[in-house]
Structure 1
Amino acid sequence: MKLILSLYFATYPDAISSKIAANSVALAKQIDASLHAVAINVDIPDVSNALSNYLLDLPYKIQEVEATSRKRSKVLLEAIAQEAEQGGVSLTTQELTAPPALMGDLAAKHSRYSDICLVGWAPADQTARMIAEGILFGSGRPTLLLPDSTDLGALGHVVIAWDGSRVAARAVADVRAFLERASRITVVTVTDEKPLPGEGIGERLALGLRTRGLVAEAVSIQAGDSSIGTALQEHALKIGGNLLVMGGYGHSRVRDFVLGGATEGILADLRLPVVLSH
């Protein structure tokens, strides 16, 4: 059965890098998936009054911002279409509209019809973070964060962050397509961050993966003075990992996400492609 990847990006207040076009298509091609690219254009509510109309010409400024957003989405969708045609990847596209504060909720609602959701990631891009959090905690689908600063290479070495939890197990199940194509899998357990459910949990998962015919090993590391998100990414890069897989911890408290330490560390400083599952 062919997987469906969905890519979500906003064009307000800034557009993501055009590199996301090549990277999302390259990812779909690697796992023989189809791609659905979704641009979320901004819809700014009209809060104008007579004074703002006179002094600021607010209605015109709103129309200008919305037109810029639509123009950016058209450019990016055309770039993705061109990449998909060249790469032989099946592509569909869609444009949605939402107020800035509801972009994450809208992305979560629509992403429930795909298998894996992609979000282009740039440092300090709060809109991308909002969309990623919305999908992660509201869609029931895994979220794959793609850095926009590097070209996506072969995801041959998959690194699994393993603590024996439900969300970690969910993450492993969600990336089966990547595991089946991996030349190497490393299960990493951080031993000094929190109590673990037992000894040898990483080796137990690695053994199960080897039983399934995959090449897998287990290692234990200590985070030390680093945050767990930083420690996991640094170790993954150190051993040549191309994709980090982990559970996404967090819950919503009056619509403000309260994130676990590892999830917050990843979202604050993304260094390689990361799959988060909740």
Structure 2
Amino acid sequence: MSLRSIFLFAPAETGSAQAGPSALAIDLARNHGATLTAFVVPLDVTTPGRDTDAAAVAQGIAEAARTAGVDCQTVTSHSHAMTVHEAICQQARLHDLIVTGTDDSSMLSERNIAEHLLFESGRPVLLVPQSHGAGAGGSQAAVAWDSTAAAARALGDAVALLDLDAADFLTISGEKDLPADLAESLLVTTSARRGLTARHSVAELGSRSIAAALQDEAHARGAALLVMGGFGHSNLRRWVLGSATSDLFAGLTMPVLLSR
């Protein structure tokens, strides 16, 4: 499997083709020869002129994609027979990868949409800080590894979609009980058989949150992308996130690929 189709959610309030999720999505589409669909709608529907803002953001993304040689389609409206969450998920499910941010400055926020996409789209979600420039760190990433099914799914998505050829497996001790079979030799040798150069390291949690520790350790190893499993469950359509995932949404400092 390869990356053929990218879905970008870019709210009218924060979307920009010059940085953040939009810039990285365009960069990924160019590097992988993928198509890009940008869903650009206002989240603040009470302020006049937001539709005009959405059209301007969509035009900026389309022009930047065209300059990069990327086949880009923009969507700036949806059927009011469904909620904006439902409309976004309906389209996102048709693509290989979802790219979005985690801004949380309004009640119906980008973070709220991102959480919904993680649980309801069935697709891997790439979270990108708004301050991030284009580029996702090439073919090397840090992988949060605890031998869970979610971590395995995230690794598989990253290898298949992003053409990874090297990975730093990161295990954070002191946050939860870890399986006894976290054998470094098994990780390295099995990864090599699938064409992935790997190394494994363990870091202490200390006083950091698990999300901060993972991102700190990923940065320290020169990775520009963190890959991890997304944890949590839906309960009467209210999102209850695991601690690592919740902290990550609140304190994103680098692009993070989440799968569940």
Q: Report the TM-score when normalising by structure 1.
A: 0.83
Q: Select the structure that is richer in helix.
A: 1
Q: What letter corresponds to residue 88 of structure 1 in structure 2?
A: G
Q: CA–CA distance in 1 between the matches of 2:153 and 2:204?
A: 23
Q: What letter corresponds to residue 87 of structure 1 in structure 2?
A: A
Matching residue of 1:5: 6
Tell me the secondary structure at the aligned position of residue 89 of structure 1: coil
1:87-98 to 2 correspondences below 5 Å: 87-97=68-78
CA contact (8 A) 1:5 1:116 kept: yes
1:78 aligns with 2:59: yes
Query: For each residue in 1:78-118, what CA deviation from the matched residue of structure 2 results, as whole angstroms up to 9, or x when unmatched?
Result: 1111111111111122123478x943333222211001101
Matching residue of 2:25: 24
1:77-226 to 2 correspondences below 5 Å: 77-97=58-78, 102-122=83-103, 124=105, 127-156=109-138, 157-177=140-160, 180-182=163-165, 184-201=166-183, 203-226=185-208
> Which runs of no fewer than 5 residues in structure 2 stay unpaired?
none
Q: What letter corresponds to residue 266 of structure 1 in structure 2?
A: L
Tell me the secondary structure at the aligned position of residue 132 of structure 2: coil
Matching residue of 2:49: 68
Matching residue of 2:228: 246
Q: CA–CA distance in 2 between the matches of 1:5 and 1:264?
A: 24
Matching residue of 1:51: none
Query: For each residue in 1:166-214, what CA deviation from the matched residue of structure 2 results, as whole angstroms up to 9, or x when unmatched?
Result: 11111111112455244x3101112221122223345433322211222
Measured at CA, do residues 243 and 125 of structure 1 come closer, stay the same or move farther in structure 2, by a change above 3 Å?
farther
- After TM superposition, the structure 1 stretch with the greater mean CA deviation from structure 2, 127-136 or 33-42, is 33-42
Measured at CA, do residues 220 and 84 of structure 1 come closer, stay the same or move farther in structure 2, by a change above 3 Å?
same
Matching residue of 1:55: none
Query: For each residue in 1:108-159, what CA deviation from the matched residue of structure 2 results, as whole angstroms up to 9, or x when unmatched?
Result: 2221100110103446466110110110000100110111112123523211
Q: What letter corresponds to residue 159 of structure 1 in structure 2?
A: A
Q: Which has the larger radius of gyration?
A: 1
CA contact (8 A) 1:4 1:35 kept: yes
- After TM superposition, the structure 1 stretch with the greater mean CA deviation from structure 2, 161-170 or 22-31, is 22-31
Aligned-pair Cα RMSD in Å: 2.3
CA contact (8 A) 2:3 2:162 kept: no
Q: What letter corresponds to residue 260 of structure 1 in structure 2?
A: G
> Which runs of no fewer than 5 residues in structure 1 stay unpaired?
45-61
Q: CA–CA distance in 2 between the matches of 1:69 and 1:206?
A: 50
Cα deviation, residue 228, structure 1: 0.5
Matching residue of 1:58: none
Tell me the secondary structure at the aligned position of residue 147 of structure 1: coil
Q: CA–CA distance in 2 between the matches of 1:119 and 1:82?
A: 19
Q: What letter corresponds to residue 35 of structure 2 in structure 1?
A: S
Measured at CA, do residues 76 and 113 of structure 1 come closer, stay the same or move farther in structure 2, by a change above 3 Å?
same
Measured at CA, do residues 249 and 119 of structure 1 come closer, stay the same or move farther in structure 2, by a change above 3 Å?
same
Q: CA–CA distance in 1 between the matches of 2:228 and 2:239?
A: 18
Matching residue of 1:47: none
CA contact (8 A) 2:129 2:254 kept: yes
Between the two proteins, the alignment pairs up a number of residues equal to 254
Cα deviation, residue 226, structure 1: 0.9
